[in-house]
Copies of this chain bind each other. A is one copy, B any other.
Amino acid sequence: MAVRTPDPDPDGDFGFDGVPEPDANPGWLTEIELAEARRRLPMLYVEAVPVRTDGSGQVTSLGVLLRSTPLGEITRTVVSGRVRYGETIRDALFRHIENDLGPMAFPLLPPSPDPFTVAEYFPIPGVSAYSDDRQHAVSLAFVVPVTGTCEPRQDALEVTWFTPEEAASDAVWAEMEGGRGTLIRQALAHLGLLR
């Protein structure tokens, strides 16, 4: 599968299907204004790799989102979305996890605000490991244990759980959009689980 990078959360207000989410605030920044800003400014994003842990805190599996693009392609991605004006990183992280994994995921947000890595997405592939054809985005990426049930609210979305070995594989790497296979490997390195 080709690695392509439509934004899985185009504007932070609209879901994968373009329908406004219940908590959207359309008056705050219209789609046109946002599209304009995207061509002029780097956009601040948060991303989360959901994980399951055992009793000792060791990660046993990583969650990857499966979704179909508007063009009907199937790609894999992580929890991802824009930070709004006036919103803290922690709040943005919580909001996007709930959006993508549902209200019963019960995430344990990390006590430290420091991301495990900063991913730079450029519109032109090759500048960095990450690309996004719609914008220049800079993402603060976190590993987030979830203790509940993940029920993606978007129809097109599913969560697949991989062992660390599977998540690091070339097969999964190739299916992740926008270079996020590298983000998964960065997460595994951070967890001491990369081989």
Contact = CB atoms under 8 A, between A and B. Distances in A.
B185 A88 contact: no
A85 B136 contact: yes
Interface stretch (A50-58, A70-78, A149-157): A50-58
Contacts of A109: 56-58
Contact of A53 (B28, B94, B111, B117): B111
A110 B114 CA distance: 14
Contacts of A140: 118
Interface residues of A, number: 57
B191 A189 contact: no
B40 A85 contact: yes
A185 B188 CA distance: 11
9 contacts: A53-B111, A56-B90, A57-B90, A58-B90, A110-B110, A111-B145, A114-B190, A129-B195, A185-B189
Interface of A: 28-29, 33, 37, 39-44, 51, 53, 56-59, 83-91, 94, 108-118, 120, 122-123, 127-129, 136, 138, 140, 143, 145, 182, 185-186, 189-192, 194-195
